[in-house]
């Protein structure tokens, strides 16, 4: 469980909103509460953080004491949200761990296939193949080789090669995520449809009326959106922005339809090529909205037509002037309202929605990262070094190795290690697992600074004593 802290004082465990503590799974979490202080702790992260299979389980069991995490929220709402997220992450991780224990050999094989399928170099190779196939399709469309020529045969062989690669990749994907996880992904359905069309085309069983679907081979390039993170983020952001942009676009369509109906009503007989029906009228208005030569080809042409009618004596001069004024008002008003105002409004909404959607995507990504960090295996800051030192059986050689690390961390050569020096030294050593040293960890390692000198720093003797104590705990399976 995750519960808020009940007391407020200068003690760190009493001046926070709630406390998370990872404890041994065999211990009742209620017994971890300190009697009489009102402090409340939880063991919600035990299973997913410290339980490993095989040797990892024993190593983590030897190295980890309960570690408190003191968290303060900005307000009660944020605190409750974090507590719900931690509970949810703990339940999910425990369920996954239980599923791992109960899974069949076939399921284990599927997880292995998924692990290798999601590796960066596998996804990178698939992306390279997709991009190469796209450029070859573009080259084929440019040269348009003659049927039966050598170039046409080479391109056909390359098409078979890429289809085989993509089919193998799809089968690997199916085996890794079968069944629900695969078919609930729109990207996987898209991949399967494209590859089925390619196989039917190569097999020669594609109906003659559907041969045009072979052009969908070039659409494979959109699969890059799933594999390249920047492209994927753009696509997701656009997805978030669809609703507000669609509302604005609907308003523009209604406004354009109103003008199209007016154009058909007044100009259908005189200018059937521009306003003969609703669709032609919409196309003409689209040309006006995009400022695509609308003055010369549309407005001036319509004005000149009425001038010609006046010269032939078909209409009076006053009627000519009225029609010309109406044409100018009709086209100019639409270009100003539709082209300059409404289109810019749509673009502004698109940019704003895209920006907000991008921020939301970043927030969601950070939230998922925070939850992943809560459920990720946690290691002690000195765990990597302790493991290495414990592997040295000779006591003299081990002490020499410990002393060498001390001298390397002592960057100012004052024969003592402060907390910042120890933190920076651990990071610079690059041991695995790699972690920062918190103030609480430093207090635990030094037994509330009992092994420190009067300045609160670790001398060589104090450092050796601390390390020997950690080694003793590690080797006797009692934690660090």
Whether omega before 62 lies within 30 degrees of 0, making that bond cis, reads no
Which residues are paired to 71 by β-bridges? Answer: 18
Whether omega before 179 lies within 30 degrees of 0, making that bond cis, reads yes
Residue in the block written with tokens 């559907």 = 210
Residues, the chain, total? Answer: 480
Whether omega before 128 lies within 30 degrees of 0, making that bond cis, reads no
Give the Cα separation of 213 and 234 in Å (integer): 27
Structure-token pair, residue 239: 């997805």
Give the Cα separation of 462 and 205 in Å (integer): 80
> pLDDT tens digits, the chain, 480 residues: what are they?
454 544 334 444 444 455 555 544 444 333 333 333 333 333 333 333 333 334 443 444 434 444 556 666 776 677 777 777 877 877 887 787 787 777 788 888 888 898 888 888 888 888 888 888 888 888 988 888 888 889 989 988 998 898 899 899 999 999 988 878 888 888 888 888 888 888 887 777 766 655 566 666 667 777 777 667 777 777 777 777 788 888 888 999 999 999 999 999 999 988 999 999 999 999 999 999 988 888 888 999 899 989 998 888 888 889 999 999 999 999 999 999 988 899 898 888 888 877 887 777 777 777 776 666 555 555 566 777 788 888 888 888 888 888 888 888 888 888 888 888 887 777 777 655 555 577 777 888 888 888 888 888 888 888 888 888 888 887 776 444
Q: Output the CA–CA distances (angstroms, integers) from residue 450 to 284, 319, 459, in the order listed.
A: 86, 105, 12
Give the Cα separation of 77 and 63 in Å (integer): 35
Structure-token pair, residue 361: 């995507």
Any alpha helices (H) in 103-179, and if so which ranges? 105-117, 120-143, 150-177
CB 50 within 8 A of CB 26: no
Q: Each residue of 20-61: pLDDT tens digit?
A: 555 444 443 333 333 333 333 333 333 333 333 344 434 444
Structure-token pair, residue 62: 């030897």
């Amino acid at each position: 469980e995750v519960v808020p802290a009940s007391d407020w004082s200068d003690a760190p465990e009493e001046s926070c909103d709630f406390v998370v503590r990872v404890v041994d799974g065999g211990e009742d979490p209620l017994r971890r509460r300190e009697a009489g202080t009102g402090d409340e702790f939880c063991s919600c992260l035990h299973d997913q953080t410290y339980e490993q299979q095989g040797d990892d389980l024993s190593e983590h069991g030897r190295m980890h004491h309960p570690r408190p995490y003191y968290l303060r929220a900005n307000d009660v709402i944020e605190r409750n949200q974090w507590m719900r997220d931690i509970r949810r992450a703990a339940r999910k991780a425990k369920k996954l761990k239980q599923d791992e224990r109960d899974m069949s050999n076939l399921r284990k094989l599927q997880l292995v296939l998924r692990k290798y399928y999601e590796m960066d170099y596998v996804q990178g190779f698939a992306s390279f193949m997709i991009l190469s196939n796209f450029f070859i399709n573009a080259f084929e469309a440019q040269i348009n080789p003659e049927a039966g020529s050598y170039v046409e045969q080479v391109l056909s062989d390359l098409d078979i090669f890429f289809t085989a690669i993509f089919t193998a990749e799809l089968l690997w994907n199916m085996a890794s995520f079968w069944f629900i996880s695969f078919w609930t992904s729109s990207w996987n359905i898209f991949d399967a449809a494209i590859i089925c069309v390619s196989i039917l085309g190569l097999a020669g069983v594609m109906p003659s009326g559907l041969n045009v679907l072979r052009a969908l081979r070039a659409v494979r390039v959109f699969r890059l959106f799933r594999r390249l993170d920047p492209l994927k983020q753009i696509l997701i952001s656009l997805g978030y922005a669809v609703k507000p942009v669609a509302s604005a676009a609907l308003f523009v369509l209604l406004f354009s339809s109103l003008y199209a109906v007016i154009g058909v009503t007044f100009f259908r007989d005189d200018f059937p090529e521009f306003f003969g029906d609703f669709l032609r009228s919409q196309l003409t208005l689209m040309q006006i909205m995009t400022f695509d030569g609308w003055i010369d080809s549309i407005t001036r042409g319509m004005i000149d037509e009425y001038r010609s009618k006046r010269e032939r004596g078909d209409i009076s001069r006053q009627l000519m002037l009225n029609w010309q004024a109406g044409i100018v008002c009709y086209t100019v008003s639409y270009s100003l309202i539709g082209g300059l105002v409404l289109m810019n409004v749509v673009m502004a909404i698109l940019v704003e929605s895209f920006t907000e959607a991008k921020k939301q995507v970043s927030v969601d990504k950070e939230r998922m990262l925070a939850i992943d960090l809560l459920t990720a295996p946690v290691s002690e800051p000195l765990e990597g070094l302790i493991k290495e030192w414990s592997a040295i059986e000779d006591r003299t050689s081990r002490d020499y190795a410990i002393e060498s690390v001390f001298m390397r961390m002592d960057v100012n050569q004052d024969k003592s290690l402060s907390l910042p020096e120890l933190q920076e030294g651990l990071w610079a050593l690059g041991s695995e697992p790699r972690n920062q040293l918190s103030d609480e960890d430093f207090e635990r390692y030094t037994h509330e600074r009992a092994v420190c000198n009067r300045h609160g720093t670790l001398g060589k003797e104090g450092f050796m004593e601390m390390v020997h104590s950690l080694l003793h705990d590690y080797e006797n399976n009692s934690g660090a």
